[in-house]
Amino acid sequence: MIHIIVVSHFHDDYIKSLINKINESEFDASSLFRIYIKDNVNSLGLREFCASEKICYIPSLERSGFSRNNNHAVAKIIEDYCVDVQEDYFLFLNPDVLVDADTLKQLSGILACQKYDLFTADLYKDQNLTVRDPSVRHFPKLVNFFTSYFLGYNKSIIDRSDINTHQVVDWCAGSFLGMKCSVFNQINGFDEQFFMYCEDIDICIRAKNAGYKLVYLPELKVVHFSQNDNRTLFSKHFLWHLKSVMYMFRKHVLKVC
The domains of the chain are located at: 2-252
Instruction: Look at residue 145 in the predicted model and tell me its pLDDT.
Output: 79
Instruction: Look at residue 238 in the predicted model and tell me its pLDDT.
Output: 79
Instruction: Look at residue 28 in the predicted model and tell me its pLDDT.
Output: 78
Rounded to 10 degrees, the C-alpha dihedral 64/65/68/70 comes to: 120
Buried b (16+ CB within 10 A) or exposed e, 21-32: bbeeeeeebeeb
Instruction: Look at residue 234 in the predicted model and tell me its pLDDT.
Output: 60
Instruction: Look at residue 111 in the predicted model and tell me its pLDDT.
Output: 98
> Would you state the CATH architecture of domain 2-252?
Alpha-Beta Complex (3.90)
Instruction: Look at residue 241 in the predicted model and tell me its pLDDT.
Output: 82
Condensed to tens digits (0 to 9), the pLDDT of residues 216-252 reads 999 999 999 976 555 566 677 778 788 888 898 889 8
Task: Give the CA count within 13 Å in the CB-facing half-sphere of 201.
Answer: 23
Low-confidence ranges of the chain (pLDDT < 50): 257
